[in-house]
């Protein structure tokens, strides 16, 4: 039954963040230039190091499978590094010719990392309580990251002359 509550919490997180983005955040940032939009959406990922908490015994149960914990934590650290590379590239970009390749790479790999964790979690974690305090990551923070990736990919997919 705990897994149902856990899945419901994660779904509520996605719905909550999607609603906040659609009604509050996106209407404000869509007026910004493309590079600024992407910088905002990329900066949200600067806290992906949170996932390393699942490697700390005491914060999580020793029963948490390493087959879930290791790829999740290290995937997020790789995504964090890619987020900074993308952000620095955007900082150095000119508005007329933005450096978007690192932003594409970051968003594809970052979203894939989250989707892998979403797939591995239910397959390997039999008791969501094993996440301990880290329970908040997949129920609050991962939904935020997924929604931010969605909006970043939306911006990236727009033609240069189009408003996102």
The model's pLDDT over 66-112, given as tens digits with 9 standing for 90+, comes to 999 999 999 999 999 999 999 999 999 887 889 999 999 999 999 99
Q: Is residue 44 part of a domain?
A: yes
Residue 163 within any structural domain of the chain: no
- Is 6 within a domain? yes
Asked whether residue 90 is assigned to any structural domain, the reply reads: yes
Please report whether residue 164 resides in a domain: no
Q: Is residue 104 one of the residues assigned to a domain?
A: yes
Residue 162 lies in a domain: no
Classify residue 108: in a domain, yes or no.
Answer: yes
Query: What percent of the chain lies above the pLDDT cut of 90?
Result: 79
Residue 75, sorted as left (phi over 0), alpha (psi -120 to 50) or beta, turns out to be: alpha
pLDDT tens column, 51-75: 999 999 888 999 999 999 999 999 9
pLDDT 10s digits, 116-153: 999 998 889 888 889 988 889 999 999 999 999 999 99
Residue 162 has pLDDT above 70, yes or no: no
How far apart (Å, rounded) are the C-alpha atoms in residues 159 and 15?
28
- Token pair, residue 126, equals 């039999």
The structural domain count of the chain equals: 1
Hey, how many other C-beta atoms are within 10 angstroms of the C-beta on 74?
Answer: 14
**CA distance readout (Å), 55 to 10, 65, 100, 143:** 21, 10, 33, 20
Enclosing domain of residue 108:
2-157
């Amino acid at each position: 039954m705990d897994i149902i509550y856990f899945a419901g919490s994660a779904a509520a997180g996605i719905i909550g963040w999607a609603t906040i983005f659609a009604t509050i955040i996106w209407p404000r940032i869509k007026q910004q230039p493309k590079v600024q939009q992407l910088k905002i959406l990329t900066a949200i990922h600067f806290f992906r190091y949170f996932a390393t908490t699942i490697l700390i015994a005491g914060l999580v149960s020793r029963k948490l499978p390493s087959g879930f914990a290791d790829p999740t934590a290290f995937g997020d650290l790789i995504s964090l590094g890619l987020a900074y590379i993308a952000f620095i590239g955007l900082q150095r970009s000119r508005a007329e010719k933005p450096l978007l390749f690192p932003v594409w790479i970051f968003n594809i790999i970052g979203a894939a990392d989250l989707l892998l964790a979403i797939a591995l979690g239910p397959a390997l974690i039999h008791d969501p309580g094993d996440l301990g305090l880290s329970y908040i990551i997949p129920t609050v923070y991962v939904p935020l990251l997924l929604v931010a990736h969605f909006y970043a990919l939306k911006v990236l997919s727009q033609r240069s002359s189009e408003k996102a």
